[in-house]
Amino acid sequence: MSKHIAIGVDIGGSGIKAAPVDLKTGEFTEERYRIPTPDPSTPDAVARTVAKCIARFSPGRKTAIGVAFPGVVQRGVVKTAANVDDAWIGTNMRELIRDYAGHDVYVMNDADAAGYGEYKHGAAHGRDGVILMTTLGTGIGTAMIVDGQLVPNLEMGHIEIDGQDAEIAAAESARERLGLDWDGWIKNLQRYYSEIEKLLWPDLIIVGGGVSKSHHMFLPHLTLRAPIIPAELLNGAGIVGAAAWAASEHKKAEKARKDDEKKAARKAKHH
């Protein structure tokens, strides 16, 4: 696999999706592969499925692979699992997937992946300033990119509004669960984004998730300070972002390893 290709995997509530991504263009180099998310979505079942998705594209030893997960991920370890099996909490996802796939991976939060993807190749391509990505799906995912730097694990879907977790009323899933028409949902969205703007003051807000395909139904009805625009990569943002982020982490790790080698060689020469 070429040096300019990395693999992205996006773990969602209903499907696990993967594709190789051209890092220069952000385009898939092969057709996306999807396997339904195992039920229950326990760590072993999901890791096995992720490994199957990875194997499909026969990555080379040096190919960077990024995996996006719908919860907080710190240094490879899952810390929260609002909409997936609780057994994930405390799991070292990086190690688990490495065991099943036989290949090192980088793992990150799904909204972080989507935000990074939109920054690299989508709606916020190359834009400086404070960019806030929000994904409206089963839950609300949020990510912040400041002058190109990702601030990981922003969990603004869980701010408290009217005494409850914001995503309960404003996520896309709330429409069906609460039986809301567009107007009803827009009211909840307005309340949510106004609160967000009070706290964060972003320069640009991007809205992703499946419902962003119907952005004309709700975005023009929101009154906010910052421009609010639909994501461009739609379903692909998580895959593209995970691949791009993995490639950049991989590069950093390689550089650190080479610097260490050089240092060790210099030291050996002086002794």
Q: Which residues bind ligand BGC (CB under 6 A)?
A: 70-72, 80, 82-83, 109-111, 135, 137, 139, 141, 155, 157, 167
Alpha helices (runs of H) in 75-181, residue ranges in sequence order = 93-101, 110-121, 166-170, 172-177
8 A C-beta contact, residue 190 and residue 222: yes
CA distance 150 to 131: 10
Nearer to ligand BGC by Cβ, of 43 and 139: the residue is 139
Of 57 and 185, the one with the shorter C-beta distance to ligand BGC is 185
Q: Which is nearer to ligand BGC, 82 or 146 (CB)?
A: 82
The distance of closest approach from Cβ of residue 71 to ligand BGC in the complex, given in angstroms and rounded to an integer, is 5
CB of 190 to ligand BGC, least distance (A): 20
Residue (of 224, 186, 188, 228) closest to 206 by Cα position = 228
State the nearest-atom distance from the C-beta of 208 to ligand BGC, in Å: 10
User: For ligand BGC, which residue has the nearest CB?
Assistant: 139
Instruction: Give 59 or 70: the residue with its C-beta nearer to ligand BGC.
Output: 70
The rounded distance, in Å, linking the Cα atoms of 43 and 50 is 10
Work out how close the CB of 63 gets to ligand BGC at its nearest, in angstroms, rounded to a whole number.
25
The least distance separating ligand BGC from the CB of residue 29, rounded to whole angstroms, comes to: 26
Q: Sort 29 into a burial class: Cβ within 10 Å, 0-12 / 13-18 / 19+.
A: middle
Nearer to ligand BGC by Cβ, of 64 and 81: the residue is 81
Q: Which residues are CB-neighbours of 9 under 8 A, at least 6 positions away?
A: 16, 17, 18, 50, 53, 54, 65, 66, 67, 68, 105, 239, 242
CA–CA separation, 166 vs 136, rounded Å? Answer: 11
| Alpha carbon distance 31, 132 (integer Å) | 29
CB of 157 to ligand BGC, least distance (A): 5
Please say which residue, 23 or 169, places its beta carbon nearer to ligand BGC. Answer: 169
The sign of the CA dihedral 252, 256, 262, 266 is positive
